[in-house]
Each structure stands twice: as structure tokens, then as C-alpha cells.
Amino acid sequence: MIPYILRRTPSALVTLLLASVLVFVLVRLVPGDPVDTLAGADASPETRAAIRDQLGLDGSPVAQYFQWLGALLSGDLGTSYLVGGSIADLVGAGALNTLVLAGSALLLAVVAALVTGVASVLSRSRLLDAVVSAVNTLAVALPPFVTGVVLVVTFAVAWPLLPAGGVPPDGFLGRPGITAQYLALPALCLALPAASVLTRFLTEALRTELRQPYVTTARALGISRRRIVLTQVLPNALPATVTVLGLQVGGLLGGAVLVELIFAWPGLGMLVEQAISTRDYPLVQVLLLLSVAVFIVVQVVTDVAHAWLDPRVRWGGAA
């Protein structure tokens, strides 16, 4: 497994380096000058020059890029000059909230997919298949901002059972019951599309495995359908499903931007919106590069998990 990981690492690092160049260029193609935002329309040329020098914008683009890259490699993420504060502190606080939300949504999606997929192939009920198909289609068709509004209106306004937004006042570990209430609506909103995709893929993978010769042999030996599904069919269907799961993790992090805005969840999504709206270039650069890095890490972890579940991947890579 370690040689496989070592083979995957160089391509990931090259991708991250190319992404840093692309992020740096794209941020500077956005219309507007951060000096204008900071100095104001009536600022004197001397004030504008001082601000430009303080921000490190008086050098060539190439020099600015290598200065930024060197600071990142040394662990200095810089300072946010519009949102305010150290970028490392801002990202750290927002990342914790986003990870809690995305992790809860991922857990809901995986549990829902496993329960629904296994139940569908075990029951062989057309009614259950029709209901699951209808729910999956609706979950994929409705964008998160529509689902979020419906959830808020239903469970926080019409029937005030859950908070409409915000984070637990005592922290996530203070009172678990209160934390679950605050997480319920945003996590469900974020989990629905991922759960739908995972359920469809896992169900089809299970049905494909059920048509394999080893299943026929096991049934001829008198082994029950439930035991075959749980001990043989499900493990064989997991490797391909793990790959789809990795893609859905990226989708969860992307969808968290909208969900956090809907439910006033102070995570990286809200921080991205603030940084872009205020043209806070240093903060935007770090957040965009961080999102790319997370996608790359998730992809590598997914490939490693796939290789661990399916040795043929490792053998093929070795060949």
C-alpha cells in the first residue's frame, strides 16, 4: 500500500502547484483594485502608494506570486485587510464549523445509502423501489437553496421544532442534544443530494453483484439471501461505491457554501462570500487554494481506500 501512496503523491503535488498558479492569476483578473477599496475614492497618491507597498502589490506579478508561495510554504497565510484578522485564525475557525457540518452530512448520506440500498435488494419490493426512486429524483432535482428554504419554513416556522440557523451557543461539545438540533436542518439539506447519488449507485452495484455466478453457487448451497448480501455482495460492491463517495465529499464541501449562507452557519462558505464581496485578495487566494487542496486530498484518500478494498487496483498500478 505504501508504494501505491508514493506513486500517487507526485501527481497530487504537481496538481496543487498548478492550482496555485491558476488561483493567483484568476484572482487578479477580477475587476477592481483592492487599493481603491481600502483607500477610498478621495485618497491621495501618497496614501495609495503606501497601501500598495504594504500589500506587496508594487512588484511584478511573478515576484508577487513567488512571494506569496514562499510565505505559504513557511506557514504564513498572511493577513486579511478587509474582513480583518489573521487569515490562519479566520480559516481555522471557519474550517471547524464547516468540517462539523460536512462530516454530519456525510454520515447521514452514508447511513441512508447503506440502509436504503441493502433494504431495496433484500425486500425486492416494487413499491419500495418506486418510493426510493421518487425521493432520489426529488433530492437531486431540488437545489440546496430550495431545499433549505423548505426545511426552514416547515420545521422552524410552521412547526417550530428546530432552530432556523446559527451554531450551538455552548459549542459543539457543550450540550450534544442542543448541537444535534442546530445541525439537523443544515446537515439534512446538505446530505440529501449526496445520499441520493450514493443510494442509486450502491443499489445498482448490489444488483449487479447479485447476478454474478458466485451468488448462484451460494444460493445452491442453501445460504440465505440476507447472508449472501451482507457478507459477500456488499463487500464486493463497496470499492466502486467508495470512488463515488469521494466525489460526493467534494460536492458536500462545494454545497456547504450555499447551505451555510441559508442557515447562517459561520463556516468557510460564509467566509468565502465575505472575501469575494469585499475583494479581499489575500483571503480569497488562500480559501480557493485550500478548497483545491481538500479536493486533492479527498481524491488521494479515495484512491487509497479503493486500492485497499480492491487489491486488483494495486496490482494494476504495479504492473
The verdict on 189 and 277 lying in the same domain is yes
pLDDT for res 186: 92
Read off the pLDDT of each residue in 156-166 and give the average, rounded to a whole number. 87
Do 38 and 94 reside in the same domain of the chain? Answer: no
Regarding predicted confidence, which is higher, 227 or 40? 227
Handedness of CA 82, 88, 94, 95 (dihedral sign): positive
pLDDT tens digits for range 292-315: 888 888 777 777 776 776 665 555
Mean pLDDT value across the chain = 81
41 and 157 in a single domain? The answer is no
pLDDT band of 285, cuts 50, 70, 90: confident
pLDDT band, very low/low/confident/very high, at 54 (cuts 50, 70, 90): low
- Count of domains forming the chain: 2
Clarify whether residues 104 and 246 are in a common domain: yes
261 within some domain: yes
pLDDT band at 176 (very low <50, low <70, confident <90, very high): confident
Q: What is the pLDDT of residues 244-279, one digit of tens each?
A: 887 778 777 777 888 888 888 888 888 887 887 777
Q: Is the pLDDT of residue 217 over 60?
A: yes
Read off the CATH number of the domain in which 120 is found: 1.10.3720.10
Report the amino acid identity of residue 58: D
The DSSP-derived string for 197-219 is HHHHHHHHHHHHHHTSHHHHHHH
- What 3-state DSSP class applies to 103? helix
pLDDT number for residue 318: 42
Whole-number pLDDT of residue 40? 63
Together in a domain, 43 and 103: no
* 308 located within any domain: yes
**What are 34-49's pLDDT values in tens digits?**
666 666 666 677 777 7
What is the model's pLDDT at position 41? 63
Please tell me the predicted confidence (pLDDT) of residue 3. Answer: 67
| Residues 106 and 45 both lie in one domain | no
Distance CA 295, CA 196 (A): 21
Q: What pLDDT, in 10s, does the model give residues 105-138?
A: 999 999 999 999 888 888 877 888 888 888 888 8
- The model's pTM: 0.76
Per-residue model confidence (pLDDT) at position 134: 85
Provide the domain limits for residue 67: 32-76
Q: Are residues 67 and 144 in the same domain?
A: no
Q: How would you label 235-258 residue by residue, b for 16+ Cβ within 10 Å and e otherwise?
A: ebbbbbbbbbbbbbbbebbebbbb
Helix or strand holding residue 137 (H, E): helix 126-141
Both 127 and 229 in one domain: the answer is yes
Whether residue 238 contacts residue 307, with contact meaning beta carbons closer than 8 Å, is answered with no
319: pLDDT confidence band, cut at 50, 70 and 90? very low
% of residues, the chain, pLDDT over 70: 86
**117 or 50: whose pLDDT is higher?**
117
Mean pLDDT calculated for residue range 136-152 = 84
